[in-house]
């Protein structure tokens, strides 16, 4: 695709990915700030307030109706952690102008609307309105509390918090409950100022054409803002291996246990593809060691899979198992890691993994959302890396490199979620 | 072979539906500017088909969860596991079972023909033994346990149990640990023989393919089968609900609710036009741009988890409104109030225009993805309609027509299912 980063203004880059296979254009506004305990909750709540009302549309009903009139333009907000950076994303996807009933410029209208939400919020002096803050705070609190509903996700969040205790990455992406509850108008106003003044911003457009003068319009919006942008977003810090394995067990009224094993690796930003392939052979597709052995041969679980956190260099193995089978499952997962470290996987499995990863990367080009997310989460390199570039790199990986990568994997933490009546308690 | 072409000028898209002499229906949309292909081989056989007869023989009743069990087992053939074969091509493969269908799928960006061979081959090559059935009971048992801990799943099935006296839609798709223990290889073969006949099946493909080549390949790969007659036992389902309130405690922080309105169907299932009308009605009354949504959000009664669905399939239809709230009963009351208000005051035409545009845009967007197109084909194959009709219906449908469907909100057929936090 040959997309290039365009510098729009100080700490604001633009990317246009030309892709004419879609009926839609997506515009995303990605803001990156360092993860700090003091700021993370206000930074996370802010985008939800900004996208619920604005100077022009004073409540979310009016705003939603405007988006309806733009032929169901989808406004989305997300908050995530990319390494030690907090990633706040605003995006709008809208059908292309040729579908409009009345010949209107839907894409340009949607683009201007998203800019006005970010730059012209509904302010009450140097604060936001209490009704807007309280509404979004209440929903955020309920969202955080609701994490317990999905036990698999809950277990995953718990092990991350344990592995990164005291470190920025260990803080929940929305901040802690207490911090959210304490937020007031001035905190949110400061967060808005931080977003405009201090975040590194990447504006991405994926579609058949770049809306006319769009990057100039973005530059004008920032023109009067004394920018002092965050520059450390490319830093890559990984978790140190631990001399002893940490064991954490929570009890809850559940009928199935959750077992999560957290590992460190020797991965840095440069060799992440080897890490991806190694993790996939260990516990990715149905050809993987964990699927073949823990699920298919031993029938211990419905899922037992490994996933890499490329931006932090750790690896998690997640499984749902009977309480009584947890030790067997844990032992077998570790046995299978040793097998990968010893090169005990055949060429068919190795090739299957390379083909599967390359196949899904190729499919990225067929999905607006995947492309947008691909570029927005790869901020560590100076040059833009496309899915096709990644395929080229992955195709060069050797079996020996996978074995070497596996040998750098060390068990760090074992997390278990077990039933309250269960005898097993560590 | 009977081949029909469907075109949509607005989208600049076309697709073909081909019916083979054995009754197999094949939907294909070429998307030459895409890199990938998405293909599905499905059967009109799901969890609700648990009592049937073949060729007018005696009705047999099979254990709950057997369609899903069969889906798991079909990946194993005598000459090896389908996943192992896919792993040589790099395709992503999966399968799913719903209330009224089972689908096997793959997506790939290379070696499409090889992948299609694998799909056609394993779906037509059942191989079940006592030993492999036993192995699967452990795996599916864990899948069932996983859903037992999912409050979102439980709140839905409790609502269905509260609504339906006899219809098998109230039973979990995967069955129970006890019901799947009754499954054996002979029963699996019996179900396979009945429902995996080409006349009851469909293939849906979207992506970078050549229609004629694909049709040739499929025609030559489909094994000869006898013509069969499937009779699904008609369920005697009263119009009334079983109970209007059901509550269960689980490990949740705030209660989950599902308000359901059971609909008595005049036909086997609602038409495409009726489904579109009801979905528009739900957006108008309860969508994010509605007065209801603002009022209940401002009252602190709902959050972003609130959603509505017109839940339909063969022999069942209901409106579902689900979400999280500290006061589920109050939400259910507010829903009733809102219905009265709409009956009395109507809906403003401007909102209707906005919602119509919104739905029109959503429909256009679905054609961005080969996956979505294949999913639309599945629904079209099961319910027998042209997917492009949706755009025309959305253009011409009136507020008056949409509002007629408000009669589904019959207070006497409403249920409230609640999952509340465990008392400590």
CATH at residue A314: 3.30.830.10
**Are A26 and A154 within one domain?**
yes
Interface of B with A in 342-371 (CB under 8 A): 351, 353-355, 357-362, 364-365, 367-370
Secondary structure of residue A304 in the 3-state scheme? strand
**Are A156 and A77 within one domain?**
yes
Name residues of chain A where pLDDT drops below 70.
Answer: 1-2, 270, 421-426
Q: Nearest CB to B294: which of A59, A256, A300?
A: A59
Range of the domain at A333: 246-419
Residue B71 annotated to the active site = yes
Q: What pLDDT is stored for residue A425 in this prediction? A: 35
- B143 interfacial to chain A (CB closer than 8 Å): yes
Tell me the DSSP string of A96-115.
-GGG-TT---HHHHHHHHHH
How many angstroms away from the CA of A175 is the closest CA of chain B? Answer: 18
What span, in angstroms and rounded, lies between the C-alpha atoms of B189 and B173?
19
Strands (E), B66-112: 76-77, 80-81, 92-97, 102-108
Chain A CA closest to residue B422: A253
**Are A190 and A300 within one domain?**
no
CA A400 to chain centre: 30
**Are A325 and A281 within one domain?**
yes
Of A170, A203, A234, the one marking the end of a domain is A234
What span, in angstroms and rounded, lies between the C-alpha atoms of A17 and A371?
9
Whether A93 sits inside 8 A of B152 (CB atoms) is no
- A21 interfacial to chain B (CB closer than 8 Å): yes
Q: What pLDDT is stored for residue A426 in this prediction? A: 34
Half-sphere exposure of B336 toward its Cβ, with a 13 Å CA cutoff? 14
Disruptive mutation site among A207, A359, A362 for chain B (greatest number of B CBs within 10 Å): A359
What span, in angstroms and rounded, lies between the C-alpha atoms of A60 and B380?
35
Whether A150 sits inside 8 A of B34 (CB atoms) is no
- With 0-12 CB in 10 A as exposed, 13-18 as middle and 19+ as buried, what is A136? buried
Whether A67 sits inside 8 A of B11 (CB atoms) is no
Q: Could you say which DSSP state residue B422 is in?
A: P
Name the helix (H) or strand (E) containing A347: helix A347-364
Phi, psi angles (nearest 5°) of residue B246: -145, 140
Q: SS3 helix, strand, coil % of chain B, rounded to 5?
A: 45, 25, 35
**Are A207 and A323 within one domain?**
no
Q: Nearest CB to A146: which of B138, B146, B253?
A: B253
Chain B residues touching residue A61 (CB < 8 angstroms): 288-291, 293-294
Residue A340 lies inside a defined structural domain of this protein: yes
Q: Please say whether the beta carbons of A287 and B84 come within 8 A.
A: yes
> What are the beta bridge partners of residue B309?
B320
Taking CB atoms and an 8 Å cut-off, how many pairs form between chains A and B? 191
Q: What pLDDT is stored for residue B79 in this prediction? A: 83
Cα Dmax for chain B: 66
Q: Compute the residue count for chain B.
A: 424
Secondary structure of residue B17 in the 3-state scheme? strand
- With 0-12 CB in 10 A as exposed, 13-18 as middle and 19+ as buried, what is B386? middle
- B304 interfacial to chain A (CB closer than 8 Å): yes
Chain A residues touching residue B89 (CB < 8 angstroms): 355
Tell me the DSSP string of B365-396.
HHTT-HHHHHHHHHHHHHHT--TTHHHHHHHH
Residue A133 lies inside a defined structural domain of this protein: yes
**Are A349 and A200 within one domain?**
no
Secondary structure of residue B308 in the 3-state scheme? strand
Interface of A with B in 230-269 (CB under 8 A): 252-256
CA B113 to chain centre: 28
Q: Please say whether the beta carbons of B105 and B49 come within 8 A.
A: no
Chain A residues touching residue B109 (CB < 8 angstroms): 359, 362-363, 366
> Do B2-232 and B245-421 agree at the fold level?
yes
- A64 interfacial to chain B (CB closer than 8 Å): yes
- With 0-12 CB in 10 A as exposed, 13-18 as middle and 19+ as buried, what is A181? middle
Strands of A246-252's sheet, edge to edge? A246-252, A410-419, A257-264, A314-321, A301-309
Interface of A with B in 394-413 (CB under 8 A): none
Interface of A with B in 326-365 (CB under 8 A): 348-349, 351-352, 354-356, 358-360, 362-363, 365
**Are A227 and A257 within one domain?**
no
Residue A239 lies inside a defined structural domain of this protein: no
Q: Compute the residue count for chain A.
A: 426
Q: Check residue A253 and give left, alpha or beta (phi > 0: left; psi -120 to 50: alpha).
A: beta
Of A185, A212, A234, the one marking the end of a domain is A234
Q: Please say whether the beta carbons of A46 and A224 come within 8 A.
A: no
Residue A426 lies inside a defined structural domain of this protein: no
Whether domain B2-232 has CATH 3.40.50.80: the reply is: no
Q: What pLDDT is stored for residue A101 in this prediction? A: 87
**Are A105 and A12 within one domain?**
yes
> What are the beta bridge partners of residue A315?
A263, A308
CA B262 to chain centre: 17
**Are A196 and A298 within one domain?**
no
- The strand pair at A12-18 and A200-207 is best described as parallel
What span, in angstroms and rounded, lies between the C-alpha atoms of B342 and B338?
6
Taking the domains of chain B in order of start, what are their residue ranges?
Answer: 2-232, 245-421
How many angstroms away from the CA of A353 is the closest CA of chain B? Answer: 7
Chain A residues touching residue B87 (CB < 8 angstroms): 285-287, 348-349, 352, 355-356
How many angstroms away from the CA of B142 is the closest CA of chain A? Answer: 5
Chain A residues touching residue B254 (CB < 8 angstroms): 142, 145-146
Q: What pLDDT is stored for residue A237 in this prediction? A: 85
Give how many domains chain A has, as a whole number: 2
Q: What pLDDT is stored for residue A423 in this prediction? A: 47
Whether domain B245-421 has CATH 1.10.10.10: the reply is: no
Residue A367 lies inside a defined structural domain of this protein: yes
Q: Nearest CB to A254: which of B139, B251, B291?
A: B251
Q: Please say whether the beta carbons of A178 and A171 come within 8 A.
A: no
Q: Could you say which DSSP state residue A128 is in?
A: B
- With 0-12 CB in 10 A as exposed, 13-18 as middle and 19+ as buried, what is B16? middle
CA distances to A76, A181, B58, B295, B416 from A130, in Å = 23, 13, 68, 17, 33
- A138 interfacial to chain B (CB closer than 8 Å): yes
**Are A206 and A263 within one domain?**
no
Q: What pLDDT is stored for residue A422 in this prediction? A: 56
Please report, for chain B, how many H helices and E strands are present, in that order: 15, 17
What span, in angstroms and rounded, lies between the C-alpha atoms of B72 and B66?
10
What span, in angstroms and rounded, lies between the C-alpha atoms of A35 and A79?
12
Rg (CA), chain B: 23
**For the segment B264-311, what is each residue's pLDDT rounded down to a tens digit?**
998 989 999 999 999 999 999 999 999 999 999 999 999 999 999 999
Whether A99 sits inside 8 A of B361 (CB atoms) is yes
Name residues of chain B where pLDDT drops below 50.
Answer: none
What span, in angstroms and rounded, lies between the C-alpha atoms of A291 and B160?
34
């Amino acid at each position: 695709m040959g997309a290039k980063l365009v510098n729009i203004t100080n700490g604001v880059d633009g990317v246009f990915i030309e892709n004419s296979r879609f009926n839609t254009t997506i515009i995303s506004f990605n803001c990156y700030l360092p993860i700090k305990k003091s700021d993370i909750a206000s930074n996370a709540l802010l985008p939800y307030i900004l996208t619920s009302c604005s100077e022009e549309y004073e409540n979310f009903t009016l705003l939603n109706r405007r988006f309806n009139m733009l032929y169901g333009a989808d406004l989305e907000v997300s908050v995530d952690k990319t390494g030690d950076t907090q990633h706040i994303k605003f995006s709008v996807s809208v059908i292309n102008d040729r579908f409009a009933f009345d010949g209107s410029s839907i894409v340009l209208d949607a683009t201007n609307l998203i800019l006005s939400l970010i730059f012209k919020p509904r302010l009450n002096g140097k604060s936001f309105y209490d009704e807007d803050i309280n509404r979004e705070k209440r929903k955020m609190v309920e969202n955080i509390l609701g994490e317990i509903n999905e036990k698999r996700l809950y277990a995953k969040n718990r092990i991350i918090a344990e592995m990164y205790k005291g470190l920025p990455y260990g803080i929940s992406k929305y901040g802690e409950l207490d911090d959210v509850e304490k937020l007031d108008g001035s905190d949110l106003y400061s967060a808005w100022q931080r977003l405009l003044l201090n975040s590194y911003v990447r504006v991405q457009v994926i579609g058949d054409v770049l809306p006319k003068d769009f990057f100039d319009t973005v530059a004008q919006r920032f023109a009067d803002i004394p920018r002092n942008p965050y520059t450390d977003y490319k830093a890559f810090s990984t978790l140190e291996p631990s001399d002893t394995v940490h064991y954490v067990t929570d009890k809850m009224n559940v009928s199935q246990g959750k077992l999560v094993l957290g590992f460190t690796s020797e991965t840095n930003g440069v060799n992440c593809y080897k890490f991806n392939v190694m993790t996939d052979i260990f516990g990715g597709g149905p050809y993987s060691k964990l699927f073949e052995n823990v699920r298919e041969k031993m029938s211990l679980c419905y899922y037992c899979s490994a996933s890499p956190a490329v931006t932090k260099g750790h690896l998690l193995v997640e499984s749902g198992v009977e309480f009584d089978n947890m030790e067997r499952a844990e032992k077998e997962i570790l046995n299978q890691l040793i097998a990968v470290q010893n090169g005990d996987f055949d060429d068919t499995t190795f090739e299957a993994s390379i083909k599967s990863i390359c196949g899904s990367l190729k499919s990225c080009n067929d999905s607006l959302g995947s492309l947008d997310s691909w570029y927005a989460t790869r901020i560590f390199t100076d040059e833009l890396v496309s899915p096709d570039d990644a395929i080229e790199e992955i195709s060069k990986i050797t079996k020996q490199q996978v074995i070497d990568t596996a040998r750098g994997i060390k068990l760090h933490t074992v997390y278990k979620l077990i039933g309250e009546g269960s005898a097993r308690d560590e | 072979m009977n081949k029909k072409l469907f075109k949509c000028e607005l989208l600049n898209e076309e697709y073909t539906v081909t019916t083979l002499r054995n009754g197999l229906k094949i939907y294909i949309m070429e998307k030459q500017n895409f890199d990938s292909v998405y293909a599905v081989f499905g059967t009109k056989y799901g969890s609700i088909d648990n009592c049937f007869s073949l060729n007018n023989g005696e009705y047999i009743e099979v254990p709950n969860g057997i369609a899903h069990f069969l889906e798991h087992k079909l990946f194993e053939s005598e000459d090896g596991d389908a996943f192992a074969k896919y792993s040589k091509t790099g395709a992503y493969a999966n399968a799913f079972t719903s209330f009224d269908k089972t689908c096997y799928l793959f997506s790939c960006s290379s070696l499409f023909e090889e992948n299609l061979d694998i799909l056609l081959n394993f779906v037509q090559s059942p191989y079940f033994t006592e030993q492999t059935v036993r192995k699967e009971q452990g795996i599916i048992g864990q899948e069932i346990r996983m859903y037992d801990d999912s409050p979102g799943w439980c709140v839905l099935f409790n609502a269905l149990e509260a609504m339906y006296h006899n219809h098998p839609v109230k039973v979990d798709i995967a069955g129970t640990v006890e019901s799947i223990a009754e499954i054996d290889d002979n029963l699996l073969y019996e179900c396979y023989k009945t429902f995996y006949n080409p006349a009851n099946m469909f293939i849906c493909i979207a992506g970078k393919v050549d229609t004629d080549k694909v049709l040739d390949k499929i025609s030559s790969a489909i094994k000869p089968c006898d013509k069969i007659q499937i009779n699904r036992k008609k369920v005697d389902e009263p119009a009334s609900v079983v109970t209007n309130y059901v509550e269960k405690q689980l490990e949740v922080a705030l209660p989950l609710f599902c308000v359901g309105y059971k609909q008595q169907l005049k036909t086997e299932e609602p038409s495409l036009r009726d489904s579109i009308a009801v979905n528009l009605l739900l957006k108008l009354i309860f969508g994010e741009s509605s007065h209801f949504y603002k009022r209940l959000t401002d009252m602190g009664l709902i959050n972003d988890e609130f959603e509505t669905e017109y839940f339909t399939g063969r022999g069942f239809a209901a409106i579902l409104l689900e979400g999280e709230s500290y006061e589920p009963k109050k939400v259910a009351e507010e829903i009733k109030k809102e219905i009265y208000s709409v009956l009395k005051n109507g809906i403003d035409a401007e909102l209707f225009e906005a919602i119509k545009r919104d739905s029109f845009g959503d429909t256009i967007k679905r054609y961005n993805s080969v996956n979505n197109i294949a999913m639309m084909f599945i629904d079209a194959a099961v319910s027998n309609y042209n997917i492009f009709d949706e755009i025309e219906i959305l253009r011409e449908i009136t507020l008056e027509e949409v509002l007629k469907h408000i009669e589904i909100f019959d207070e006497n057929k409403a249920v409230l299912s609640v999952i509340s936090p465990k008392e400590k």
